[in-house]
Chain A
């Protein structure tokens, strides 16, 4: 059995159209079905409005599916929990807590039996992995967007979830910083043997990071159109990647899909 199964999930809202009858529905996406194996990095790409963030929220337990369900490690999940840590697009750090406290919060919750010293060591270890030692005692308002998302990633990884859910994690970060955080994320993923599901609309980012890319057609009534395996060997280095023929083939394939599905 697969590690994580997104089992024929649909999401629909009551229709808000003018001449909608009672019971009419607005379907965001329908019958989305795919599996993620342990240790995989899977991305989902699609136009805005295809419901990819909604799907991520359903996987996280923040939202409920209209049909279908999520099975993680053999168990159906419906509520948010420490086994599925989310990295939010707008970071979602608590502005009244320092970077250290934001991460330590997740550590304490995931290891309630630990004493202060153990929490501190574990927290510092993850802050160091994201190059955040110097920012540990600063509040988010004193950190750049890139630094904030590093804290967000450290918080998510530090809880050692079964799967990490990344909701367009680099959308609000400038292009130069984005590159180095992506590399840090890859390193973190490799050293911790984590399983990652990431939603994005950046084709290059998806190819650089993923084992497989799930492509959603455009909404409403979006569907999972194709799951593309990225067979470029790792480690992948951006500068070499853009020279490679396979990279450009895959890239063109995804771009063609995105253009043609934009109806």
Chain B
């Protein structure tokens, strides 16, 4: 029997309710407090109005000027910023004022370049390390030493070496993507069930066939688990790399917002980073699902 339809939607209903509650709390806690004119002389009021601290609303009475209050902008303000930003996503107004679509594209470009280059190398090295006990023991101390280093720690050295902010940011993403994939691939390859290798020996596969039709698919779940971890750290690394290098992108958008004290834009940038990351991770998980298998 099928469960009743309503129950299928319950989790989404809960998600929606949580979102509404969050927006309400956000909205309520950032609302502009009502202006209280009591105890203020005519002169005070004039000074406040001239200063722009208070403004008249449609009915003519004084309210606090929301632009002058140093509060966090509410959801409506962020929404307005988003509408404004999304109007012309692909225009270039000035050197630092590119449309949001372009910013996402810049970030994607440096992220994917670094991630893909690192992944190819990491899978290749991981398989070599995983297949040879000697290589594993020989290289393990280096991997363990290099793994915990923050990819951003490499940045000055890279900038000094390659002298180009784009390639430096790609290299930062590269360093962030390398270790987890390499370690996981090596682990996956060295833990392939001996039975699969025995079958491949039994049916007399040559090494190329063994590599493509046994070792790679058998290690695929571990490789993809590594890729997804790397993916996360690369995404974490790309935002500060953009900020530090002043490279245009969604990460840098948040920094521009901060420099302009446009907190709504900062929040908008955060949301865009979240959405871009979610979509990328979702597509990677779809790819991974095609190449992984249920252990029998």
Contacts and interface: CB of A to CB of B under 8 A. Distances in A.
Grouping DSSP codes into helix (H, G, I), strand (E, B) and loop, the B interface class, with mixed when no group exceeds half, is helix
B293 A96 contact: yes
A81 B220 CA distance: 26
A105 B203 contact: yes
A140 interface: yes
A141 B217 contact: no
B199 A94 contact: yes
A82 B204 contact: yes
Interface string A216-229: 00000000000000
B218 interface: yes
A141 B198 contact: no
Interface in A96-110: 96, 105-106, 109-110
Contacts of B217: 94, 96
A148 interface: yes
Contacts, number: 62
Given A86-B202, A106-B203, A92 B293 contact: no
7 contacts: A60-B198, A82-B203, A90-B195, A94-B199, A94-B217, A96-B218, A139-B293
A141 B296 contact: yes
Contact of B198 (A80, A91, A96): A80
B205 A92 contact: no
Nearest to A148: B296
A12 to B, nearest CB: 21
Interface in B269-296: 291-296
Interface string B209-233: 0000110011010000000000000
A79 B295 CA distance: 28
A153 interface: no
Contact of A94 (B202, B214, B291, B294): B214
Contacts of B198: 60, 62, 80, 86, 88, 92
Given A95-B295, A139-B293, A141-B293, 17 more contacts: A60-B202, A61-B201, A62-B201, A79-B201, A80-B202, A81-B202, A82-B202, A84-B202, A88-B195, A90-B195, A91-B296, A96-B217, A96-B293, A139-B294, A141-B295, A148-B296, A159-B203
Contact of A105 (B213, B218, B220, B296): B213
Nearest to B196: A94
A93 interface: yes
Contacts of A140: 296
A85 interface: yes
A29 B73 CA distance: 81
A109 B293 contact: no
B212 to A, nearest CB: 12
A17 to B, nearest CB: 26
A139 B214 CA distance: 15
A94 B295 contact: no
B296 A95 contact: yes
Nearest to A94: B196
A168 to B, nearest CB: 14
Contacts of B213: 105
B16 to A, nearest CB: 35
Contacts of A110: 203
A93 B202 contact: no
Interface string A152-187: 000000010000000000000000000000000000
